[in-house]
Structure 1
Amino acid sequence: MENSLDMCAVSSANASVNKKNSASNSLKMINDLLENSKTLPTTVSDLGSIQLSINELKKRTSELRAQNKDTDIDLTKAHYLLAGSGLAIEDVDNTLESLHKYQMMESHAPGMQAEGEIDHYLKLKKDQIVSMSIDKLLSTSSKDFDIFLDNNLKLDWKSLEHDVGQRFGLYVKNMNTIDNTNSSKHVMDMPKWSSEKSSLLNDSTTLLNVNENYLLRNKFERYAKIIHSFNNCRQQQNHFSLVNEVISMIENFGDSTNRQLLECWKILQAIQEKESIVISSRRYVEKQFLAYVDELYKKNLNEGLPTGINKVKSFIDSKLRGKDNKWLIENLTIVNGIPIWALIFYLLRAGLHQEALEVAINNHSSFNKVEKTFLIYFKAFITAKSAQLPVELTTKLHIEYNQHIKSALGGDPFRMAVYKIIGRCDLSSKNISSIALNIEDWLWFHLMLVKEDVSDNDPVYEKYKLIDLQNIILSYGISHFSEYYLQVLLLSGLYEFAVEHACTISKIDGVHIAIGLANCHLLKTTTSHSDKNNSLLVSSGTGNSINFVRLLSTYTTSFRKSDPRIAAEYLLLVGIVNDESEMKLCHEAIRELVLETKEFTILLGRINADGTRIPGVIEERKNLLNLNEMHDYLNKISEQAAYKADEDGRTQDSLMLYQLAENYDIVISIVNDLLGDLLSESNMSKPLTNIYSNNPNDPIYIAETLIHIYMNNLDISKKIQTKNKITNITLLKISEARKTFAAGQWQNTLNLIEEIDLIPLSNTAEIRRSAQEVMNIDKNILKIIPNLLIMIMTCVYNISENLRQSAYQSAIKAQQHEALKNIAKNCSMYAGMIKYKMPKEVYSQLTKLEITLQ
């Protein structure tokens, strides 16, 4: 404290002596501080830069000043600190005050320097904003491009790497196994199944576009040809191997990505004629493994004669030996350089049961004491039809297994595996320690343990049924079985789940796998619509089933309009199970196809100009619809389609459909409507042939053709009302009169109209009667009355003018002229008496023509 006072006293003394120089020293010190501040770190500082605006800085300094005012801060200690530095407090105050004055002057009269700094700041701020905007735009564009690639390309890089490797002869093993071990193992090469549309992965009801690309369209057409041939043979009740045809098609693709699909169809080929799922599936995986062993053996031809035993020995040597020629699995029982229990195990794995028995007999002397009875059990196992031991032997084997094999320390793991297989021992633990099994091995091992004919009297340890294995597989799911999941589902009899999973990989292939399974009567189908989610797989109290109708309907949706014939062929498969409820749905699906696509000629057929009927796809496939009344079914569909076409204003379609429905009375009614519209609305100054050109769509041509056909067919004629026949004939006569009228043949026109006997031209007494009965005539004739009256009056006028212009006058011509005037009078009288409202122009024109004739 005393030192502090001494320092303060010294400072005060110096200040009083050098008062004049103190101000200059203080300014110099501040200038030095300013100069030194330029050397402070800027952008490279670890502390970062202050990113505050000018307004924010002003706001914060004001807040600090307010805080200092409110709190009476003791600055004494600061004075003591500054005193030690040799800086006079008064000089600091004076300097700060002068700086403040300078700032105030600049704020009122800013100079060029201040303006330059503000302009520089604004320019930097503008550049910064522009730069940030560009960076944000580039970042957004990059992100959008990545999203675009992800949504449109959907590249599976692992699959692509695998395919490229195969093309260049590189082989990468699939190491996904059931057992989490690092032991060496064989794995079948299973490439990914190419999917045509990744959006299908989680929705089995998603619509498929078979016209999306060339490859998919090509596959679609190949499948369609097979289905068409299949339906041909079904119709003729000939044998057709759908499975073999599909296998041949896939093999001809020559694409390695379809190998998984090919294997699925080969599984279907193996199980389609077998009664037992377990036996047929087990034999399939055994043959598959033997083929792999044989392929491996061909690469090592120095292994002796190509016997089954030598091939399996070669497999064991390549898989169970390491590079240092040491066995990779410990505690193997080696006899003459061969692990004897491993050899027996893999011979069983390859389905070579007799060879396995031969190895056991030849090496019986090498078995230890606890293994001496093994040969008895093994012979019984091999010779049994069901590959299962008798009850008495099973009991003895279980005792020996529990006492010696199961608890043996350092025992051969393959010995335990063989005992488990032949005796179905210790089913509570179905794994084999120290032996690495791939997916096929695991499935085969469990199929060997499954017992199909389980009874209630069997002990608990014997009860391992197929449904138990199926539940294990479903609980594991695709995460455990990876790309082999579909094959596992098929081999374990989970056909409904297999179809659902196949559709998530490739809808087009999944649909045909379902067709193949349904044809083999292996697929459980349902007609239930009670499931809330419209799912393909339906679960109920009776088990799981596939909504086969929905599957085929959703599949055909994308090509119904482009390929209606093919769509019909697929919908005909709805009744493949020959179930009554399924057949009803098949009939309904075909009906909906007709109404939706409007491809009536292709599906329902057509009528030739001579009245003969050309059948469509439905009639051609009538045997597959299993209908007793095919005629009624077609007529009903045709009539419904005709009614819809009529509602939509598609007159030509409705005409054809009503003919196909054999509703000839409605056909004539429609034709009468067409004729009535034509004769009442057309411009009378133009010939009718100029309007419709006498083509098949010409109502007159249609009417003439149909009335000729129908009248010459007594059965058809009976189905047409007399009123409609008369109306049709009358309209055709009026159309003939229109033709002569357009040709200027006035007298012929009057003669034709008089023959129609619709308007009494010469008999005045009949005018009233005819006018009163006009409302009883057909509507299509009634609406032509105005044009007929104009035609009559025009003909009378032109004939009368011709008589007047004649150079020779006679009493006969005078009589003719009077007759014409009488016709005109009758015509006008008729127009005034009929209870039919005609256009005002008609009355005006009739009056004008009548006056001209006076």
Structure 2
Amino acid sequence: MQQEWEVEKQKILNALISAGEEAFDFTQDTGEVPGQLGDTTVGTGRSNMDNMEMSYARQVFVYNDAVVQGAVKPSLADLFTQVADKVDDKNILDLWLMVQTVTDVPLVQAQSPMGARRSSQLQRAFIGKARHFLEQRYVQFITTTIYDNLQQAQLGGIPGTYDTVRSFLNIRLPAVMAGLEDGEVDGHPVWAMVYYCLRCGDLEAAAEVADNCQSLQGDFAMFLREYVRSEDRRLSPSTETKVRLHYRRAIRNSTDPFKRAVYCILACCDTSDTHSDVADKTEDYLWIKLCQVFLEDDSAGLQDKLTLPQLQSLLLEEYGETHFNAAQQPFLYFQVLFLTGQFEAAIDFLFRTDQLRAHAVHVAVVLYEMKLLLTPNTVQAQLLTKEDGDPVPMRRLNFGRLMMSYTRKFESTDPREALQYFYILRNLKTPGGENLFMACVSALVLETREFDMLLGKLERDGTRKPGAIDKFHGDTHKIIEMVAQDTESKGQSEDAVRLYELAKDHEKVLILLNKLLCQVVSQPPAPQSDRDRLKALAVGIAERYQSQGHSGAQLEASTFFLLLDLVTFFDHYHTGQLDQALDIIQRLQLVPLTQEAVEQRVAAFSSYADEVRRNLPDVLLAAMNILYSKYKAVRSAGQASPTSRGRLREDSKTESYLTYLRKQARALITFAGMIPYRMPGDTNARLVQLEVLMN
């Protein structure tokens, strides 16, 4: 009961998915043993997966199939985006388009995900992709706004960002806006035009605005051209210093919010300014900050700088979920964290919302398969952890725990789908050094009891019919053996026998069967009893071993067949077939039925396995009862026969046979007294009592 309660506690704790939850305990039972607290959960045939989860699972199957076949692996982000395309939810589609965009980066060779994530090359690529995503979103927003207000927008001219921004400003900016500087271009404030062209990601359009405005000719146009020509949207250090100096002297106190924003974007000035007059939405604020971020390699010698870790800490630790109203706007907060490279914290946040859990898991799968997900050193860690030595504010996500928490919902009804997710965990290890995929398969088999479907089935001819695990082309024999060991350790010996048989470990099959059979040998047969079930299992295995051979030890095999013979002996004994039972016991030569055989049987006693010796008291009692029953039957028949001339001859034969039975009984008594085995006191008393009744 105590062990079962520990299992129940683990299950309850694992169901409480939050940042501070307890760790999975792989040292304890993760399946259930039928007992006083409840039976093993078995699928009822009705899936616990919703349509979204099933669609994701199909894509995981497609990906795993390519991995197993050794084919070119498809992009998981593309596969999952296809799922989002079919869902009538713009937020889900935007989420996957963001993941698809940000993860479309050239991966760097590194020994660990941490090494890859800290490389300047990858960080620069992530920031560039994040900015590109926000810029494309803004282009969509501008285009939608224009087409919703075509009359006011006065769309015309050559299609392109320049004219699109000009039309958008017809709607966006009031006719008169105080404080704007340096005149207009095409009827709109010049700095507003430059800013919105930059915001749309079209640097050439911003340069075109500067070329069309006389007031912007000179140093700024030169600065902007250099910015446009740079591959990473970064001015040279000398130019950047000039622009920052000019900003501090002349631009910081400007009344034109667009002008200040443009200078801050170009030269990463004044990183504490939120530019709320211009960036009125979180995406705008985030885009400006991403434009201002310095990588550690580029920020040497700069005082006023915003590094990526500083931005990450600001958004995650200083602002946090409350500031962004994350409970009501989960997609927005996920976007804030994901676009700033805080993948683990973003996934953890989304996973804590029931309706969004499936999306969080599959985002994690994408990053894990790209070797970009930071994971803890042990799969027993909490879901989100911060380890000593990690740079601030890096977090680690327990990917194994995440996947098992997710699959727990449907593993009992959809074990095949759960198996696909577990295959992704094949490179992780349990604290005991075991393959996590194999450990999860073992737990899944014990939980669902779908032995045949998952592991395969042994046919009558000894061949194994493949199961679901065979699709993964791994060492299925090793997996089956591990499941068998786990099953045995949990006391589910009958299931362990079948599994060891499936793994062709005949030695373990015989050892376990001997332990099981010795407990039920002397019980009377009864339909659907444990004894009859074990007998059927043992007889099937015995027939197979006799016809096809086996690799078990000779002692275990001889013990097994002897126990099966004893089962047959007790079958006849309990059903009143005493002559057949006595014939079996004579042929087995386990106990003596003559005084001459006593010493020989006593000498042979020590060669029998403990499983046989344990049943000897019952065998002796049964044999003595058979002799006494035959004795009574003969006596009764002799007393009932009529008086006749041949009576003396009959009496002589009867007495001779009764003497023969007494000698057999005496041999049993002598044998019971001589063997080096402490039999129960009532057994000896009963044997003596029956022998006395026969005298």
- Partner residue of 1:414 out of 239, 245, 258: 258
Code of the aligned partner of 1:729: F
TM-score by length of 2: 0.75
- Measure how far apart 1:510 and its partner are: 3.0
> For residues 794 and 215 of structure 1, what CA distance do their matches in structure 2 show?
61
| Partner residue of 2:589 out of 757, 771, 774 | 757
**Structure 1 residues 481-520: Cα deviation after superposition (integer angstroms, max 9, x where no partner):** 3332210110011112212222333444433332232223
* Cα distance, 1:594–1:247 mapped onto 2, change above 3 Å: closer
Correspondence 1:435-474 to 2 at 5 A: 435-452=278-295, 454-455=297-298, 458-461=301-304, 463-474=305-316
Give the 3-state SS of the residue equivalent to 1:253 in structure 2: coil
Q: Paired residue for 1:709, among 540, 544, 552? A: 544
- Aligned with 1:417: secondary structure? helix
Distance 1:816 1:279, change over 3 A: farther
Aligned AA (1:303): L
Aligned equivalents of 1:729, 1:387: Cα separation in 2: 82
Q: 2:501 aligns with which of 659, 676, 692?
A: 659
1:244 matched to which residue of 2?
A: 78
Q: Offset of 1:289 from its aligned partner?
A: 0.6
Change beyond 3 A, Cα 1:392–1:558: closer
Measure, in 2, the Cα distance between the counterparts of 1:334 and 1:328: 13
- SS in structure 1 of the partner of residue 396 of structure 2: strand
1:789 corresponds in structure 2 to 624
Distance in 2 (alpha carbons) for counterparts of 1:205 and 1:759 = 59
Q: Is the 8 A contact 2:165 2:193 kept in 1?
A: yes
| Corresponding residue to 2:267 among 418, 423, 437 | 423
Separation (CA, whole Å) in 1 of partners of 2:566 and 2:413: 43
Shift, 1:822, TM fit? 4.3
Displacement, 1:813? 7.4
Deviations 1:564-623 (A, max 9, x none): 5544443443346x7898984625742772596373615555544544344555565464
TM-score (norm 1): 0.62
Following TM superposition, by how much is the alpha carbon of 1:286 offset from its aligned partner in structure 2, in angstroms? 0.6
Deviations 1:630-682 (A, max 9, x none): 6456424422321322xxxx442242244345443343344345544544232
How many residues are paired up?
Answer: 613
2-structure distance, mates of 1:655, 1:772: 33
Q: Which amino acid aligns with 1:832?
A: I
CA contact (8 A) 1:746 1:799 kept: no
Tell me which of 136, 144, 148 is aligned to 1:295. 144
> Which of the two has greater helix per residue?
1
| Separation (CA, whole Å) in 2 of partners of 1:465 and 1:547 | 27
Alpha-carbon spacing, 1:774–1:206, altered in 2? closer, same or farther (3 Å): closer
Equivalent residue, structure 2, for 1:725: 557
1:494 pairs with 342, 352, 355, which one?
342
Partners of 1:382 and 1:816 in 2: how far apart? 124
Partner amino acid, structure 2, of 1:272: T
Q: d(CA) in 2 for partners of 1:784 and 1:317?
A: 104
Provide the residue aligned with 1:316 in structure 2. 169
Q: Does residue 285 of structure 1 match 2:138?
A: no
- How far is the alpha carbon of 1:270 from its aligned partner? 0.5
Contiguous gaps of at least 5 residues in structure 2: 1-14, 25-40, 106-121, 674-678
The answer to whether the 8 Å contact 1:413/1:432 transfers is yes
Is 1:231–2:52 an aligned residue pair? no
- The equivalent of 2:191 in structure 1 is 341
Question: Are 1:384 and 2:230 matched, yes or no?
Answer: yes
SS of structure 2 residue aligned to 1:493:
coil
**In structure 1, what is the Cα distance between the partners aligned to 2:542 and 2:443?**
32
What aligned pairs does 1:322-401 form with structure 2 within 5 A after superposition?
325-327=175-177, 330-331=180-181, 333-361=183-211, 363-364=212-213, 366-367=214-215, 371-398=217-244, 400-401=246-247
Residue 547 (str. 1) matches residue 398 (str. 2): yes
Distance in 2, Cα, partners of 1:592 & 1:729: 31
1:304 offset after TM fit, Å? Answer: 1.4
Q: Structure 2 matches for 1:531-546, cutoff 5 A?
A: 534=382, 536-543=384-391, 544-546=395-397
**Does the aligned pair in 2 maintain the 1:740–1:748 contact within 8 Å?**
yes
RMSD: 4.2
Q: Distance in 2 between matches of 1:594 and 1:200?
A: 20
Letter in 2 for 1:249: V
- Structure 1 distance, partners of 2:312, 2:229, is 28
Work out whether 1:304 is the aligned partner of 2:153: no
* Counterpart contact for 1:672–1:780, Cα < 8 Å: no
Q: How far did residue 296 of structure 1 move?
A: 1.9
Q: Provide Cα deviations, 1:22-73, integer angstroms capped at 9, x if missing partner.
A: xxxxxxxxxxxxxxxxxxxxxxxxxxxxxxxxxxxxxxxxxxxxxxxxxxxx
Q: What's the counterpart of residue 510 of structure 1? A: 360
Classify the secondary structure of the residue corresponding to 1:680: coil
One of 267, 280, 292 as aligned partner of 2:98: 267
Q: Is the 8 A contact 1:377 1:393 kept in 2?
A: yes
Q: Which amino acid aligns with 2:156?
A: G
Within 2, Cα distance between the matches of 1:665 and 1:296?
76
Q: 1:636 to 1:528 in 2, by over 3 A?
A: closer
CA shift in 2, pair 1:285/1:204, >3 Å:
farther
Distance 2:562 2:380 in 1: 57
User: 1: CA distance between counterparts of 2:454 and 2:505?
Assistant: 18
Please say if residues 312 and 340 of structure 2, whose CA atoms lie closer than 8 Å, have aligned partners that are also in contact: yes
Once the two structures are TM-superposed, the CA of residue 313 in structure 1 deviates from its matched residue by 1.6
Residue in 2 that maps onto 1:832 = 669
Could you report, residue by residue, the CA deviation over 1:744-786 in whole angstroms, capped at 9, with x for unpaired residues? 666555444332223444x542245435655654225513222
User: Retained in 1: the 8 A contact 2:484–2:500?
Assistant: yes
> After superposition, what is the alpha-carbon deviation per residue over 1:124-181, rounded to whole angstroms, capped at 9, x for unaligned?
xxxxxxxxxxxxxxxxxxxxxxxxxxxxxxxxxxxxxxxxxxxxxxxxxxxxxxxxxx
Mapped to 1, the partners of 2:614 and 2:245 lie a distance apart of 100
CA distance in 1, matches of 2:521, 2:241: 100
Aligned pair partner of 1:481 in 324, 330, 345: 324
1:215 and 1:736 map into 2 onto residues whose CA distance is: 47
**Structure 1 residues 346, 847: closer, same or farther in 2, change over 3 A?**
same
Is 1:538–1:547's contact at 8 Å kept on the other side of the alignment?
A: no
Q: Which moved more, 1:217-226 or 1:269-278?
A: 217-226
- Inter-partner Cα distance in structure 1 for 2:415 and 2:403: 14
Determine what percentage of the aligned residue pairs are the same residue: 22
Bigger-Rg structure (1/2): 1
Q: CA–CA distance in 2 between the matches of 1:524 and 1:221?
A: 27
Shift of 1:730: 3.1
The residue type equivalent to 1:347 in the other structure is: C
